[in-house]
Structure 1
Amino acid sequence: MRYSLEKYKGRSTRHDCPRCRLRVFTRYVDHKLNKYLSDHVGRCNRVEKCAYHFTPKMYFEQNGYMVDDSDLFVPRVKPISKPPSCIDRKLLFASLSQYHKNNFAVGLSRYFPQALVIEVLQKYYVGTAKGNKTIFWQVNRLGQVRTGKVMQYNAATLKRVGYINWVHHIVKQKDFNLKQVFFGAHLLADESTPVAIAEGEKNAIFGALYYPQYNWIAVGSIEMLNLQKLNALKAYQVTLFPDKGKAFKKWSTIAHKASFDVSVNSILEDTNLNEGDDIADLVIAIKKDRYKRSPEAIVDAFVAKNKNLKGLMDKFGLVINAG
């Protein structure tokens, strides 16, 4: 095979993962040219905790290339202009329910009112798939469904587990010509509302719940934001919300080169959160801190010691005086 994961030959053959930032990332090697592909093309060895995997095929498809019979990646002939494929909207709307079986929705309800969670998930076209999984649909401004990213979450931690799948793969739609759009792109039909850009879909949802003054969109990863994509949004008031550390520096550079004024939010840089932490981590930390100082935390602490206490409080309508 021309492209394969680099064999382990010591720590120098392991790199920083684009998602979890740990040095457990194996890059793909082009054996014909004897060099690496782009620095985000590879697989994280933390399969359960991170599961980042960006293949050579995904890289070349993303950049407009195709594979020929000789296993060489050659530029796509420009006259071939096959239109992007779309998925039946009925599949999308059928998925916008059963949130009690959606691990991501269940986890969100620990931090936000359930009614608000459902409202935001439906607004951003986040659906439920089999096995308690979550679908982040990609819908353009015309309402065309390009695809859906399917992921599994741990309901308690809201961390992603397992591998990413795609709706067009699951339904086995033939001759599918994938052309992705921003997650949340359908909201760009409204040019009057400021736009916030996050790396991942989970962060866009947390942002929408905590900072509703923006229409949130997600690019998918730190590497997926580039100058071309950013300049396409010059009709909007745009603020970037990169993860802490490396992503902040990279996205700040891109913002500086944009053809219009782009703000870069530094809220994460001003916290004591870890390198690579994101908006979701920030909101969860804020919510947990507020809970610790709330009357509910006092009640929960007593109930943990005596489970009969909650029943007595409910029976007699007892509450803790916050004063």
Structure 2
Amino acid sequence: MVARHIDIHFPGVGVVTSLRFSEKVLVEKASLTEYLEFAKHLAVQAGDTALNYFRVQEDEIGLTNKSLNAFDPVTKADKEIETKLRNLISEHYPKHGIFGEEEGYFEGNGLTWVIDPIDGTRAYMSGLLHWGVLVALFDGTRPILGVMYQPYTSELFFGDGNCSYISVRGEKPKLLKSSSIRRFSDTVFATDTLEVLSGHERSVAERSRLIRLGGDCYVFSMLAMGLIHVVFEKGLKPYDIQALIPVIEGAGGVVTTLDGGNPSLGGSIVATANPELHEDVLRRLT
């Protein structure tokens, strides 16, 4: 396989990591079950830290901007969670790699934990609920499991690409199933903001039944629940999308890049509720 990589830049630091496609690492079913349980544990542990800083004043969460050209917020919670998760992963699986938004990439044996301590920091700092902790395990080609946890509502979404579930407040998990809607004019179309869409892309979105703006990882989770039908996001990083891919695919949905390729390294991402709708949406957008 030809390696493809994505360089992640941080202000004043330069290139600090390079995540790339590599030879697939085979994982036995028993190990996958173990890793998924561990990922759920990581997400819940992270959620406890996130709640310590949620809905408190700006000076208490240590809000800073990590971009020179735009507003890209980071908080104490982001940093503390990532450090906490890295320590837990290193303790339990010292040979595994780790790739996180705040501290970059530690290369391991081919299996890499991909973490976003708080996906949706803008919502988090504003006291809104459209944020979550994201944890995935990447086998070199695709994420083989994913977890999204919203600790305030105690909603735990998880999947392995074959089946996906939601557990609320620790109750028995319920199977997730995405929508069977095929007609684009009946869809709920979610995107971050209309400003980043081209004129053509915006005209496509306007042909849906309803456009929803913002929501980060939460709208992808609602797609897995069958409540949203199309999500189109640009400029995503691997840690923004990897945890959500197995959840959506396990519920029956489809996730690709805009050109129909592997979405694991991010970019312009299209997620839809089913294969037939996905084909139609890609055709419309391109």
TM-score by length of 2: 0.30
Highest RCO, 1 vs 2 (Cα 8 Å, sep ≥ 6): 2
Query: Which structure has the greater CA radius of gyration?
Result: 1
**Structure-1-length-normalised TM-score:** 0.27
